[in-house]
Structure 1
Amino acid sequence: VPAGEWVPHVEAFVDVSRSPAQHSAGVDALAALVNKDKLTLFDLVSKMDMYLTTTDHIVRSRGILLLGQIMSHISFKWLDVNAITTLSDFFISRL
């Protein structure tokens, strides 16, 4: 999936000045891309690197929250044991 199809949704979510409706729409759009197998969760995480590793605590926390929100909206049949383990380790390391 070209970045132009998913980056605006990430940016809308991490921008705290946006409305809750825009945040929710971003989650829904990204979850739809993952559910339709147009974007893998691993690709999303790797492409979100700048949002997840920035020194801006607000952007980083919103990026992590976005991943959690997406995971709550996707069909878990797409995740194998390795994916679940890796994502669990990622979230645990952020706590």
Structure 2
Amino acid sequence: MSTDRSAEDLALEIVREKIFQRFYDELPYELTVVPVSCKSLRDGSMRVEHIIVVPHEGVKKIVVGSHGAALKHVGTSARMELQRMWGHKVHLILTVKVGK
């Protein structure tokens, strides 16, 4: 795939998209996805890390889900799309934190 957007911007947009697809009517649009890092590793894979900042603990529980299932669903679908687009393995790390 050819694009004029950076890998970090593209990863950020894919993660946001997957969050809003998964939680369409459940979440207020007050959550923010903050990029932490996006770098190539020696083995040719990419390591992408984002923090999902939510307004309060109740929203965090929704995003994480029971035993982390909701966050895993978002992470897996975003990782698979990034791997398909970039053509190599992606290590996607998502963390949910309550903002101030």
* Higher helix fraction (1 or 2): 1
- Tell whether the structures are fold-level matches, with TM greater than 0.5: no
TM-score, scaled relative to structure 2: 0.33
Q: TM-score, normalised by structure 1?
A: 0.34
